[in-house]
Amino acid sequence: MIKVQFAARPERWGTYQAPLDAALAEAGLQVDLRQDHPAAEVDYVIYAPNSDLQDFTPYTGCKAVLSLWAGVEKITGNTTLTQPLCRMVDPGLTAGMVEWVTGHVLRYHLDIDRSLATQDRWEPVVPPLAQERPVTVLGLGALGAACATALAQLGFPVTGWSRSAKTLATITCAHGSDGLQHALQQAQILVLLLPDTPATENTLNAETLALMPRGARIINPGRGPLIDDTALLSALNTQQIAHATLDVFRQEPLPQEHPYWAHPQVTVTPHIAAETRPLTAAQMIAKNIQRSETGLPLLNQVNRDLGY
């Protein structure tokens, strides 16, 4: 019997227990899934960093920690966690992110705010076609690549940027610091889907914001530290950046006194761009345990040196 510990907020147990049991059984695994196994007996931990479990030292037999979250920046700093760590790649979460990003890109592209503001008068302004609106996506991982591909399917010329060189059929791919400069110079709309690591902090700062076309728009569902907030506020105030839609922040919930709340060129959403979906996430977790039990390498393992 494989012993799997579910370590997330207690209220998540009711949401995840049935999908996990079903997916693990469907994968042909004999699993005892609980919240209260003795630590030394646990084979796998399904984990959210806001759970009470912070000290992994007693989990001496644990073969892997399987994160329920895609972003692992709150876990990688835990020095007691020496087991292999896998981040969440979930088709349901990816679908949610594609919908959220596409919706916000189309809001900017079609200037939906203008239509709402002028709905009491006849002032025709025809939006350009998607093919005339270059979009850049920073980060071409599970989420960035899916969003970039969906935007390209709508007709946007999409440039994507990643750490390592990539080839994606419909995307102009760039990497490295020269690649970032090129990617930002194209970006009438910029989507941030990088992980929060020491190398990505302040990817958008005074210097890089200045590279973007004047009046560009920014959409950040990645993580708050990707942006130097002071530099963004200043770029908004000079109209270098026309508008920003921000879903993630250095401090969450975003403090009530933060200037983003009241800024007329900022839309704040409360970290809802995409959520792990229990049914599909459970299947991914079951697949990974099955792989590990049959001697195959774990999928989506975090590189602890890179931090993602």
Name the residues that contact ligand NDP, by CB under 6 A: 70-71, 89, 93, 139-144, 161-164, 193-197, 199-200, 221-223, 247-248, 271, 273-274, 308
Beta carbon nearer to ligand OXD, 70 or 150: 70
Beta carbon nearer to ligand OXD, 65 or 236: 65
Report the nearest approach of ligand OXD to the CB of residue 115 (Å): 31
Region at 271 (left for phi over 0; alpha for psi -120 to 50; beta for the rest):
left
| Binding-site partner at residue 157 among ligand NDP, ligand OXD, none, CB < 5 to 8 Å by type | none
Rounded Cα distance between 248 and 231, Å, is 16
Tokens of 29: 């695994």
258 as an active site residue: the answer is no
Report the nearest approach of ligand OXD to the CB of residue 144 (Å): 13
Beta carbon nearer to ligand NDP, 31 or 171: 171
The residues of the shown chain that bind ligand OXD, judged by CB under 6 A, are 69-71, 88, 276
223, 243, 263, 291: the catalytic one is: 223
Beta carbon nearer to ligand OXD, 87 or 107: 87
| Binding-site partner at residue 196 among ligand OXD, ligand NDP, none, CB < 5 to 8 Å by type | ligand NDP
| Binding-site partner at residue 141 among ligand OXD, ligand NDP, none, CB < 5 to 8 Å by type | ligand NDP
Contact indicator for 259, 233 with CB cutoff of 8 Å? yes
Report the nearest approach of ligand NDP to the CB of residue 296 (Å): 20
Rounded Cα distance between 298 and 290, Å, is 9
Q: How many CA atoms lie within 13 A of 224 on its CB side?
A: 16
Q: For tokens 């899934």, what's the residue? A: 33
Residue 306, H or E segment: none
| Binding-site partner at residue 186 among ligand OXD, ligand NDP, none, CB < 5 to 8 Å by type | none
Sign for the CA dihedral angle at 44, 47, 52, 53 comes to positive
223 as an active site residue: the answer is yes
Contact indicator for 7, 53 with CB cutoff of 8 Å? yes
Report the nearest approach of ligand OXD to the CB of residue 272 (Å): 9
Beta carbon nearer to ligand NDP, 33 or 136: 136
Taking each helix axis from N to C terminus, what angle separates 278-293 and 10-26, rounded to the nearest 10 degrees?
Answer: 60
258, 271, 277, 291: the catalytic one is: 271
Report the nearest approach of ligand NDP to the CB of residue 113 (Å): 22
| Binding-site partner at residue 221 among ligand NDP, ligand OXD, none, CB < 5 to 8 Å by type | ligand NDP
Tokens of 101: 């990003």
| Binding-site partner at residue 184 among ligand OXD, ligand NDP, none, CB < 5 to 8 Å by type | none
DSSP letters of 223-255? -GGGB-HHHHHHHHHTTSEEEEEE---SSSSPP
Residues 6+ apart with CB under 8 A from 218: 189, 190, 192, 204, 227, 232, 241, 243, 244, 245, 246
Report the nearest approach of ligand NDP to the CB of residue 182 (Å): 13
* Residues tagged active-site: 223, 271
